[in-house]
Copies of this chain bind each other. A is one copy, B any other.
């Protein structure tokens, strides 16, 4: 059995039936970065991009807050004698933690919110007194968001739509000229007012708040992103190249999770479900 072409990249087949059918028709072995998953259910090939996006979020947010972008004209660092800007990071995962670090590093006043108490405890242990951790619920969310200069949406529910944490009404109560950088836009965004934007026209203003919702932020810094991604993918690519996909999948469960189509069959259950097909077992 000759597996033919192996495609190893971000695929998102569940959302693209035409692509899926073509891959099946041509019997391509399609391995999706986004479905490679470790036993602790972490996603090793999404992590580096979350890291880059989280760090970029503060850079993008600073730009949004400039007067020319329609922002409040606030410098996140403040100045001696002048309060720094206030940043609220929604979501304490990899992207959120990285956004926090950079925001605290530039001297902003930073709050990170999550719904998992032990994650908040870990963040508090790690980041010490430089960042405030706040349990997220309707009341705290409203209070923090409406008092901030910059909101970073960094909520990821794997395989599901991002929760709509901000209603249009809540956004309208934010400070005029405040900004939202919505990293969750790929999963639908954390605000009712979010809508995807492009690198060419990265922002729009809604309810007097600057929105930055570029869907592929790491492309802003291809040099750094490419190294970060390749660091993570190379090991898997070498495993597949060295052993072939069948043997590689036998050795490494993460690769098995990654295979979406094989020899004309849908293998990944979620993709199968999206295509209303029955998943095929390659390794039993």
Contacts and interface: CB of A to CB of B under 8 A. Distances in A.
Interface of A: 42, 44, 47-48, 51-52, 55-56, 58-59, 62-63, 65-68, 72-85, 94, 97-98, 101-102, 104-107, 109, 111, 115, 117-118, 120-121, 123-126, 128-130, 132-135, 137, 199, 219-225, 227-228, 231-232, 234-235
Interface centre among A51, A58, A232 (most CB of B within 10 A): A51
A52 B75 contact: yes
Contacts of A42: 118
Contacts of A67: 219-222
A130 B129 contact: yes
A132 B120 contact: no
Given A59-B62, A102-B105, 18 more contacts: A44-B117, A44-B118, A47-B118, A59-B75, A67-B219, A73-B223, A75-B224, A75-B225, A80-B117, A80-B121, A80-B123, A81-B228, A82-B134, A109-B132, A115-B235, A117-B231, A120-B231, A126-B126
Contacts of A228: 79-82
Contact of A132 (B47, B59, B78): B78
B129 A107 contact: yes
A110 to B, nearest CB: 9
Contacts of A219: 67
A231 B55 CA distance: 28
Contacts of A134: 81-83
A137 B234 contact: yes
Contacts of A135: 81-82, 227, 231
Given A59-B59, A106-B102, A117-B232, A80 B133 contact: yes
Q: Top 8 closest A-B pairs, CB basis? A: A105-B105, A80-B124, A81-B135, A135-B231, A73-B223, A75-B224, A73-B222, A79-B228
Given A132-B84, A231-B117, A55 B73 contact: no
A173 B125 CA distance: 34
A231 B81 contact: yes
Nearest to A219: B67
A105 to B, nearest CB: 3
14 contacts: A44-B118, A59-B59, A67-B221, A68-B199, A79-B227, A80-B133, A81-B120, A81-B134, A81-B228, A81-B231, A83-B132, A109-B109, A130-B130, A135-B227
A106 B105 contact: yes
B125 A97 contact: yes
Nearest to A200: B68
